[in-house]
């Protein structure tokens, strides 16, 4: 069979009025056929506001799910239902166990306000919504936690320990981790973190920073807040994928940069003086599952009415997960 071409995809897209959405970590061939690109916050906003009935989401499961939750009238399909490994580190049972661990440490449930990183499943978002909490993304975490803390409660931050600890450090707050720190530490913390992490972003280490700084003393170190707090602390810039792109592209081309985030984003970032902040290729396995062939076959399935990989979420879960997602937008607007 001949390989699928971008032209074939473009003509099917027009015929069907489907909006193709892609995260920056997608393969180049997929990224290039997208109508909407961005970080998680931008993708959720732009996809829910698009006027087509169908969204074809090229990314990981929680991203497509977030669009379905925010705009349940839309039909969302994914060329591959690829799940973010960090999002899979927590489910509703582990969420409940985290609340219980805080209660056992002497923190009453009424004093706990959960915030979930958008990298989590719909059930976890729904639990958070029911408890009065909100969703945040890497670009909005500081603002969401600032707003949330005004309620005078202790934050339970799930599932990314590093993002929780990085926000605490930036805001000069105390953090502790369930399963690692003792009851006293949990009680004394402003932000209590679940012990989840992104294995891709754990690849960027202090040793890598030292290596690049030694080789190029003027280099800028730029990382995503899913990286280890020790790495974020010594970096020149920490931001979401969109913020990283904006920052690096604002630098003179002669300025060397070493970037700590997924390979596909870094390699298309800039024509020279740009390094991956690791000697190991930092590829997100699930983000890389989607191919141009998958995009084409999913579009053809939509055309034939035999839809594959449609995102479906039950009504009750949609209701409460939407409460948590919309609270994020309210906090950001207010
Ligand atoms: P952004 O919201 O910064 O795009 O991050 C998504 C992600 O999964 C990073 O690993
Ligand atoms: Fe999930 Fe990490 Fe992949 Fe981002 S890079 S989608 S957090 S596994």
What is the domain partition of the chain in residue ranges? 6-83+287-312, 87-197, 201-276
Give φ, ψ of 270 to 5 degrees.
-160, 145
Cβ contacts of residue 192 below 8 Å, gap of 6+? 102, 107, 154, 155, 156, 157, 175, 176, 177, 178, 186
Alpha-carbon distance of 296 to 12, in angstroms, equals 8
Q: What does the buried/exposed string (b/e) look like for 97-124 if buried means 16 or more CB atoms within 10 Å of the residue's CB? A: ebbebbeebebeeeebbbbbbbbbbbbb
Contact yes or no for 201/260 (Cβ under 8 A): yes
Q: Which CATH superfamily, name and number, covers 201-276?
A: NadA-like (3.40.50.10800)
Q: Using one digit for the tens of pLDDT, what is the confidence trace for 308-322?
A: 899 999 999 999 999
Alpha-carbon distance of 322 to 334, in angstroms, equals 18
Give pLDDT, residue 2.
74
Give pLDDT, residue 1.
66
Give pLDDT, residue 257.
98
For the CA of 201, the nearest atom of ligand 1: 10
Give pLDDT, residue 17.
85
Contact yes or no for 251/257 (Cβ under 8 A): yes
SS3 223: strand
Pocket residue to mutate for ligand 2, from 118, 200, 259, 266, most atoms within 8 A of Cβ: 200
Give pLDDT, residue 322.
98
Q: Is the CB of 160 under 6 A from ligand 1?
A: no
Structure tokens at 310: 């449609």
Q: Tell me which residues of the chain have a pLDDT lower than 50.
A: none
Kindly list the distances between the CA atom of residue 150 and the CA atoms of 144, 155, 168, 194, in Å, as whole numbers in the listed order: 10, 11, 15, 21
Contact yes or no for 164/157 (Cβ under 8 A): yes
Pocket residue to mutate for ligand 1, from 22, 24, 25, most atoms within 8 A of Cβ: 25
Q: Using one digit for the tens of pLDDT, what is the confidence trace for 173-198?
A: 999 999 999 999 999 999 999 999 99
Query: The whole model's pTM is what?
Result: 0.97
Alpha-carbon distance of 43 to 62, in angstroms, equals 12
Same topology between domain 6-83+287-312 and domain 201-276: yes
Residue 103 Cα, ligand 1 centroid: separation in angstroms?
31
What topology is assigned to 87-197 in CATH? Rossmann fold (3.40.50)
* Ligand nearest to the Cα of 139, by number: 1
Query: Left if phi > 0, otherwise alpha if psi is -120 to 50, otherwise beta: which for 272?
Result: beta
The answer regarding whether domain 6-83+287-312 maps to CATH 3.40.50.10800 reads yes
Alpha-carbon distance of 248 to 252, in angstroms, equals 9
């Amino acid at each position: 069979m001949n390989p699928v071409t971008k032209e074939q995809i473009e003509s099917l897209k027009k015929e069907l009025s489907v909006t193709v959405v892609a995260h920056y970590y997608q393969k180049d061939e997929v990224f290039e056929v997208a109508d909407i690109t961005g970080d998680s916050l931008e993708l959720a906003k732009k996809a829910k506001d698009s006027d087509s009935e169908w969204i074809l989401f090229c990314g990981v499961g929680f991203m497509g799910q977030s669009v379905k939750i925010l705009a349940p009238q839309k039909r969302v399909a994914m060329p591959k239902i690829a799940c973010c490994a960090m999002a899979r580190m927590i489910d509703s049972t582990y969420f409940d166990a985290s609340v219980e661990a805080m209660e056992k440490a002497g923190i009453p449930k009424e004093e706990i306000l959960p915030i979930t990183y958008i990298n989590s499943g719909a059930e976890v978002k729904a639990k958070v919504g029911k408890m009065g909490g909100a969703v945040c993304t890497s670009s909005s975490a500081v603002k969401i936690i600032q707003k949330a803390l005004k309620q005078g409660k202790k934050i339970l931050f799930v599932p990314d320990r590093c993002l929780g600890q990085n926000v605490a450090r930036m805001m000069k707050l105390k953090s502790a981790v369930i399963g690692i720190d003792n009851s006293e530490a949990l009680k004394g913390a402003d932000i209590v973190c679940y012990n989840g992490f992104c294995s891709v972003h754990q690849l960027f280490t202090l040793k890598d920073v030292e290596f690049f700084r030694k080789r190029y003393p003027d280099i800028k170190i730029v990382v995503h807040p899913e990286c280890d707090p020790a790495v974020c602390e010594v970096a020149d810039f920490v931001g979401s994928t969109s913020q990283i792109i904006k920052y690096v592209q604002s630098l003179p081309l002669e300025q060397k940069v070493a970037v700590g985030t997924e390979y596909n984003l870094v390699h298309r970032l800039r024509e020279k003086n740009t390094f991956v902040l690791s000697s190991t290729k930092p590829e997100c396995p699930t983000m890389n599952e989607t191919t141009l062939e998958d995009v084409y076959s999913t579009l053809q399935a939509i055309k034939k009415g035999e839809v594959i990989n449609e995102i479906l979420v039950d009504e009750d879960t949609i209701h409460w997960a939407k409460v948590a997602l919309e609270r994020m937008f309210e906090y950001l607007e207010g």
